[in-house]
Amino acid sequence: MLQLTDLKVDIQGSRILNGISLSVAAGELVCLIGRNGAGKTTTFRSIMGYRRPSAGRIAFDGAEITGLPTWRIAQSGVGFAPEESEVYADLTVAENIELSTWTRPKGRPAATRIEEAYAVFPKLKQYLARGGAQLSGGERKMVSIARALTLDPKLLLLDEPFEGLSPAIIPLIAEGVASIRAMGKGVLMAESNVHHVPDYVDRLYVLERGELMFAGTLAEAHRDRGVMRVIAGDAEAMA
């Protein structure tokens, strides 16, 4: 479904990504993990067309999308929920979630997509008429992911979906991600905290200073002392 091959990105003369290669198949949850500043968000922004790679290739569903405008990438079936989880303050929850069906009108009926988003996050049904400015951080996160879902994507990019959330909300987001994966959609998730990576993740890629230093399962990552020093800290790696 998604294939990055030797992706390189320069920003203001500095190499931010240096030869990134990774893949995500339909129905897979893949996690790109690394410390803040490692290049996770740059990877996502490059996939979505906000950043033009200096070299390398991005392919989705068998077609090259490298350098395409963002709207073309979204219409091809790639949804994106950024870390900031911005919602439109002047729109209600229902209007925020419905918005993506206007962006991609073709495909399945809008009502079907909206119903599917609420099935992933049923808690949002309580807040349909609430304005975006009245939402908590966790509620904004759910709305952001639900809005990306109503685009009807085959692949969903989730940038730090658990960052800054209360312990009570994290399980709701994790259950939602599991539901999305069970629909057969590919999910690429960026995360800086290894303890937030769901147990059901299919594969991990560990990014350090713009380069991939590991690819494998969560269990294999926990057995690799060098990887754990990067994603969990020296003290835990030595425990």
* DSSP letters spanning 131-192: BGGG--HHHHHHHHHHHHHTT--SEEEEESTTTT--TTTHHHHHHHHHHHHHTT-EEEEEES
Domains of the chain: which residue ranges? Answer: 2-238
Contacts of 109 (CB under 8 A, 6+ apart): none
Quick one: pLDDT at residue 238? 34
pLDDT score, position 30: 98
- Please give the CATH topology (third level) of the domain spanning 2-238: Rossmann fold (3.40.50)
Confirm if 124 and 84 have CB atoms less than 8 A apart: no
Query: What tens-digit pLDDT sequence spans the chain (239 residues)?
Result: 999 999 999 999 999 999 999 999 999 999 999 988 999 999 999 999 999 999 999 999 999 999 899 999 999 999 999 988 889 999 999 999 999 888 777 778 999 999 999 999 999 999 999 999 999 989 999 999 999 999 999 999 999 999 888 888 899 999 999 999 999 999 999 998 888 899 999 999 999 999 999 999 999 998 998 888 888 754 344 33
Torsion of CA 162, 158, 130, 121, to 10 degrees: -80
| Strand, coil or helix: 59 | strand
Residue from 76, 52, 10 nearest 210 by CA: 10
Q: How far is residue 123's CA from residue 79's CA, in Å, rounded to a whole number?
A: 21
pTM above 0.85, yes or no: yes
- Of 46, 59, 37, 8, the closest CA to residue 207 belongs to 37
